Amino acid sequence: MHLDDEQVERVRHGELPRELEKSIREHLAGCSECRSRVAEGQRDEDWVYSMLRVLDHPPGRIDANAVVARAGGTGLGRWRWAAALLVAVSVGSAAFAMPGSPVRGWVREALEWIAPRGNSPSPIPTQSPRQPAVAGVGVVPGRALLILFTSPQSSGEARVSLTDGSEVVVRTQSGAATFTSDPGRLVIDNRSSTAMFEIQIPRVAPRVEIRVNGVRVYLKDGDRARAGNVTVAGDVYVLRLSLPRS
Amino acid sequence: MNDPDSRQDSDQAASRFHGLFVGLFNAHFERLYRYLDRLSGDSDLAADLAQEAFIKLYRRGSLPDSPEAWLISVAMNLFRNASSSRSRRTRLLTLARAEGVHSEPGPSPEAAAIDAESRRRVRSAIDRMPPREKRLLLLAAEGYSYRAMALALELNEASVGTLLARARRAFRATYAGEEQRDAP
């Protein structure tokens, strides 16, 4: 008995059932006709696959983290994030409303940073205290933290500074981005954004890396910091969020 | 109430899933993309569908028994939906893809013409194959296991080899038909 089509294919693809493998290998060793059919099947397959390759286009740069960012984390993660956001907003509002609170000053400073007066004669519109136009997140950096901007921007910068605090803090104007955090990772979904971001990193953080669309633009490793596509203004690294075209 | 132990377990499970997902993505994204690209003839659509399939897997929060077959099945469903509502589809991550294409040098005009003709023949041959044979052949070309292909295409796993041999014959026949049609 010679091998049938099914067995010839399975021999070539390593898909023989374990119980038949020995007997089929033994048959092949003694049967030139079946060996020839196996070889012919391989040549045929090689030709077909070489034809299929003419249809191919390279997939481009798509990385797992960008897909995860679009997925928005697991359901549990999303609920936890929503709860954390609710708590943060409540605490922030209470602190803002408290008489003599320094939070108002911080918010004012942040607003001025986001929309600086410069030489413009027009005054900055007064922001309602009930609608602070700042969004942000604070995360404990742990042993290593990756901050991932999901997209390059047509304009906009991230200003990175070192602080004596214990949390990595990222701020931008409200609505400019959404934040998702997992252990060791902070994903900033900044699609279609042209916003400025302020990133504060604790000096004691062992390792913090910032990537834009998968490309590393900043790395703090121990006491050393490295950055590309950057200008340094005093103690502040100014990272361009618009990646250079190759 | 939040139990710190259960929260820690949950964090560990999420972290473990994330690691598994990234491993799966790195191992399978390109082959799923290539399968969809060859099947649809639309590389942008293929990239979108492959991403959407992985997004659905991540949102699922756990791995199915056969992740490869699951991804193929989901991608095929997305493909069917996209085929019927292509105009409403939004593009994902097209910027990165466009940059990749522009950074490569183009072929000479003569080589480009030959390539275009080869592509047209193969495309036409693929499009004229029976749907089941076409999908099986394209999946096999990406090295999927017989089990994954059988699950994804709802075939009897014991006859996958026979169907594959038949699919290659079908491709040869339709391709030969294209050559005859083009002969002077």
Mean pLDDT calculated for residue range B14-42 = 91
Please indicate whether residue A106 or residue B104 has the higher confidence score (pLDDT). A106
pLDDT in tens, A155-174: 888 899 888 877 888 888 77
Least confident of A25-29, A49-53, A231-235, B86-90: B86-90
Angle, helices B109-127/A32-53, rounded to nearest 10 degrees = 120
Mean pLDDT highest for which of A80-94, A189-203, B44-58?
A: B44-58
Please indicate whether residue A111 or residue A29 has the higher confidence score (pLDDT). A29
Mean pLDDT calculated for residue range A191-211 = 86
Mean pLDDT calculated for residue range B16-42 = 92
pLDDT tier at A112, thresholds 50, 70, 90:
low
Mean pLDDT calculated for residue range A211-232 = 79
**Chain A residue with minimal CA distance to B143?**
A13
Please indicate whether residue B58 or residue B5 has the higher confidence score (pLDDT). B58
Contact assessment for residue A202 and residue A168, using Cβ atoms and an 8 Å cutoff: yes
CB pair distance less than 8 Å for A51 and B103: no
Contact assessment for residue A141 and residue A202, using Cβ atoms and an 8 Å cutoff: yes
Alpha-carbon distances, residue A46 vs A40, A82, A173, B103, B175 (angstroms): 10, 53, 56, 30, 15
- The residues, ordered by sequence, that sit 6+ positions from A88 with a Cβ below 8 Å of its Cβ are A137
B98: pLDDT strictly greater than 50: no
A43 in contact with B, Cβ within 8 Å: no
A76 in contact with B, Cβ within 8 Å: yes
Alpha-carbon distances, residue B1 vs B4, B5, B9 (angstroms): 9, 12, 15
CB pair distance less than 8 Å for A67 and B54: yes
Please indicate whether residue B53 or residue A62 has the higher confidence score (pLDDT). B53
Which residue among B21, B100, B141 sits closest to A52, beta carbon to beta carbon? B141
**Chain B residue with minimal CA distance to A185?**
B15
Percent of chain A at pLDDT above 70? 71
ipTM over 0.90: no
- Residue by residue, DSSP assigns chain A as ----HHHHHHHHHT---HHHHHHHHHHHHH-HHHHHHHHHHHHHHHHHHHHHHTT-----S--HHHHHHHHTS-HHHHHHHHHHHHHHHHHHHHHHHSTT-THHHHHHHHHHHHS--TT--SPPPPPPTTS--EEEEEE---S-EEEEESS--SS-EEEEEEESSSSEEEEEETTS-EEEEETTEEEEE-TT----EEEEEETT-SEEEEEETTEEEEEEETTEEEESSEEEETTEEEEESSPPP-
Contact assessment for residue B14 and residue A80, using Cβ atoms and an 8 Å cutoff: no
pLDDT tier at A99, thresholds 50, 70, 90:
low
- The residues, ordered by sequence, that sit 6+ positions from A66 with a Cβ below 8 Å of its Cβ are A150, A213, A214, B93
B-interface mutation test, from A3, A49, A51, most B Cβ less than 10 A away? A51
Q: Which residues of A touch B125 (CB under 8 A)?
A: 51
| Residue B94, min C-alpha distance to chain A (Å) | 9
Q: How far apart are CA B137 and CA B131, in angstroms?
A: 10
Which residue among B14, B58, B160 sits closest to A71, beta carbon to beta carbon? B58
Q: What is the pTM of this model?
A: 0.57
At residue A101, the pLDDT reads 60
A233: pLDDT strictly greater than 80: no
CB pair distance less than 8 Å for A67 and B55: yes
Alpha-carbon distances, residue A12 vs A43, A113, B94 (angstroms): 11, 66, 38
Q: Based on C-alpha coordinates, what's the Rg of chain A? A: 29
CB pair distance less than 8 Å for A64 and B25: yes
Please indicate whether residue B179 or residue B139 has the higher confidence score (pLDDT). B139
- Rounded to the nearest angstrom, the gap between the alpha carbon of residue B10 and the centroid of all alpha carbons in its chain is 32
CB pair distance less than 8 Å for B161 and A51: no
Tell me whether strands A157-163 and A197-202 are parallel, antiparallel or unpaired.
parallel
- The residues, ordered by sequence, that sit 6+ positions from B47 with a Cβ below 8 Å of its Cβ are A59, A60, A62, B33, B37, B92, B93, B94, B97
- How many other C-beta atoms can be found within 10 angstroms of the C-beta atom of residue A176? 21
A180 in contact with B, Cβ within 8 Å: no
Size of interface A-B (CB pairs under 8 A): 143
Mean pLDDT calculated for residue range B105-116 = 68
pLDDT in tens, A119-133: 433 333 333 344 446
> How many residues are present in chain A?
246
